[in-house]
Amino acid sequence: MKDSMNDKLVTLIGGGGFLGRYIAQTLLQAGARVRVAQRDPRQAFFLKPLGGLGQTQFVAADVLRPDTIRRAVHGASAVVNLVGTFGANQQRIHVDGARTIAEAATDEGAALVHISAIGAQADGDSEYARSKGEGENAVRSFAPHATILRPSTVFGREDQFINRFAGMIATLPIVPVLRPEARFQPVYVGDVARAAAAALIDEERFGGRAFELGGPEVLTMMELHQRIARLIGRKERFLPLPDAAGGLLAALPGTPISRDQWKMLGHDSIVSTGAEGLDALDVERTPIDSVAPGWLVRYRKAGRFSLIERAGG
């Protein structure tokens, strides 16, 4: 991929986030100039050392303010929309914001990669799935040649998924497991970044298509907890919660899971049969076990001095 996007300007909307930093690094290594656009660009300044002199730019932009998005994409040859939320304003951010970005990219003549999610559907029963599905429709209405990427749960060093479970397993005497049979196909953040870069590098080939991105393994929620426990050398002390208890927990204020997230757990986050995925984008899928031990070490009892094979909880 080196020098394959030499001197092209790519605007990353929300580029300072978890996935954005990996896409930025991949594009910088490919020779692109990267403009990171987000509400507070100072939060993305850590990306500066990843590029050469003048290779990175930072601008303030808000998807709810179309004028700022137009300024952010001005002069760009490509745009990646990474903006998403599990909180408030999902409709405005996932739908209205996506429409604003697609319209601005089209008017600029820029290629567009839109990051959605597996399970996105306009008639979904959760607000997240529904707004993501409507957002895809909004993108297609203004940018029919956009590439849509729908990742499953994304994991990596800075994630809030595997790390959250690892922290619970390392500190709690018993870990409750919600919807233990729910299935996931966790995908490595670096693979999603390479997929986005591939879509931009070969826009003629991949434009107008949608790809569901999943890793090489399908795991249930319980199997994922068990895998993490093994990787950090902890005993398995899990309590599967019945749906009635999980639903009650999600309905209470101040709990770690919202009612909408509870609804999302009712649907498997796996690649659909027949869907195009990472293979179609020429990206090799990375197993959890090949990368996760490198950062999960901090959850071991003795950190790097512990021996996983002798772990006893």
Residue 312: pLDDT over 50: no
Domain, as residue range, for 38: 9-156+186-213
Tracing tokens 């656009």 back to the chain, one arrives at: 37
273 found inside a domain: no
**Domain-located, residue 308:** no
CA distance 231 to 229: 6
The answer as to whether 260 is a domain residue is no
* pLDDT grade for 254, boundaries at 50, 70 and 90: confident
Structure letter (DSSP) for residue 49? G
Q: How many CA atoms lie within 13 A of 267 on its CB side?
A: 20
Residue 238 included in any domain: no
Nearby residues of 36 by Cβ (< 8 Å), 6 or more positions away:
12, 15, 16, 20, 24, 44, 47, 56, 57, 58, 59
Q: Does residue 223 contact residue 268 with C-beta atoms inside 8 Å?
A: no
114, β-bridge pairs: 81, 148
Residue 52 in any domain: the answer is: yes
The rounded Cα 231 to chain-centroid distance in angstroms is: 22
- Cβ(232)–Cβ(170) below 8 Å: yes
User: Domain holding 64: CATH number?
Assistant: 3.40.50.720
Query: Looking at residue 299, what is its pLDDT?
Result: 96
And the tokens for 21? 């930093």
Question: Distance between CA 133 and CA 272 in Å, rounded?
Answer: 15
End-to-end CA distance of the chain: 43
Largest CA distance in the chain: 60
Cα angle 163, 121, 205 (rounded to 5 degrees) comes to 85
To which residue do tokens 């930093």 refer? 21
Q: Across residues 108-122, what is the average pLDDT?
A: 97
Neighbours of 262 (CB within 10 A): 20
> Which of 19-28, 47-56, 67-76, 249-258 shows the lowest mean pLDDT across its residues?
249-258
- pLDDT value of residue 307: 52
Q: How many domains does the chain have?
A: 1
Instruction: Please name which of 313, 18, 13 lies closest in space to residue 164, comparing C-alpha atoms.
Output: 18
Closest CA to 10 of 47, 65, 64: 47
Nearby residues of 119 by Cβ (< 8 Å), 6 or more positions away? 129, 132, 150, 264, 267, 269
Q: Give the length of the chain.
A: 313
Q: What is the pLDDT, as a whole number, of residue 255?
A: 77
Domain assignment present for 299: no
Is residue 175 a part of any domain in this protein? no
Give the least confident one: 1-10, 114-123, 214-223. Answer: 1-10
Does residue 208 lie within any of the structural domains? yes
Q: Per-residue pLDDT tens for 171-184?
A: 999 999 999 999 99
pLDDT given for residue 305 in this prediction: 56
